[in-house]
Amino acid sequence: MSIPQPRTRTRLAPAERAAQIRAAAAALAREQGLAALTLRAIAQRAGVAPGLVAHYATSMDELVAAVFVELTGAELGDVRTRVEASPGAAAQLATLFQTVLGHDHEDITLVWVDAWSLGRGNAALAVAIDEQMDAWRAFLAAIVRDGRGAGLFTVDDPDAAAWQILAMIDGVSAHALVAGADPAPFAARLAQACEALVGAAPGTVARPTGR
């Protein structure tokens, strides 16, 4: 009968261990949402003791907020890259809807939905939510301003239009997540609603030239 050998734990530098724990937390959040981030769950994913997670995380609230910023910031960066590759503001808005309502963004939708709930009791997360939503609104407002400058849109207040567009995206995404539905078919409807918000001719966003 063989005698079980004790498991050896790889020793990592503090920065490497902290990065390992953060990566484990981010992976868990992508799969199960921010609500799944507990000391025990993160420790199990990272393959370490819960006490080690507690040692490297100043607080669970701050760790949850940091993971939220990491994931949602990466999402915005990806969307920005795809959108800015499209020619003109109308095509950029169309690409935006098709991207954020795609299957590959469902995990981040779960992160956002959890954040809106958890942020009520997590001050660090609440601040992070405000900052990320402000970044989204600024991104959308810049597209609308470009469209107005090019004569495609006639809206008077790009910032207000950006707020409404973001609210529509968040609403459809959240409802689809809860209902277990595919949000992608709603991209064209949102594009049509967006045309009214920004003062665009029918079909310029829903069926932009060149797409």
* 45: containing domain: 12-57
- Is pLDDT above 90 for 15? no
| Residues 137, 173 within the same domain | yes
- Is pLDDT above 70 for 97? yes
- pLDDT-derived band at 210 (thresholds 50, 70, 90) equals very low
| Residues 185, 81 within the same domain | yes
| 3-state helix, strand and coil shares in percent for the chain, rounded to the nearest 5 | 75, 0, 25
Look at 59-63, 128-132, 205-209 and tell me which has the smallest mean pLDDT.
Answer: 205-209
Quote the tokens at residue 125: 């997360």
| Residues 150, 48 within the same domain | no
| Residues 93, 175 within the same domain | yes
Residues 116-171: tens digit of each pLDDT: 999 999 999 999 999 999 999 999 999 999 999 999 999 999 999 999 999 999 99
CA–CA separation, 63 vs 17, rounded Å? 14
- Tell me if residue 20 falls in helix, strand or coil: helix
Complete DSSP assignment for 152-192: S---S-HHHHHHHHHHHHHHHHHHHHHHT--SGGGHHHHHH
pLDDT, average across residues 97-121: 91
- pLDDT-derived band at 38 (thresholds 50, 70, 90) equals very high
CA distances from 34 to 126, 176, 194 (A): 13, 18, 30
Residues 190-204: tens digit of each pLDDT: 999 999 999 999 888
| Residues 79, 157 within the same domain | yes
Report yes or no on 42 lying in a domain.
Answer: yes
Report yes or no on 7 lying in a domain.
Answer: no
What's the total number of domains in the chain? 2
| Residues 106, 28 within the same domain | no
| Residues 22, 69 within the same domain | no
Looking at residue 194, its pLDDT comes to 93
CA–CA separation, 38 vs 63, rounded Å? 10
Whole-structure pTM value: 0.88
Report yes or no on 209 lying in a domain.
Answer: no
Which residues, other chains included, contact 74 with Cβ-Cβ below 8 Å and sequence gap of 6+? none
CATH number of the domain to which 144 belongs: 1.10.357.10
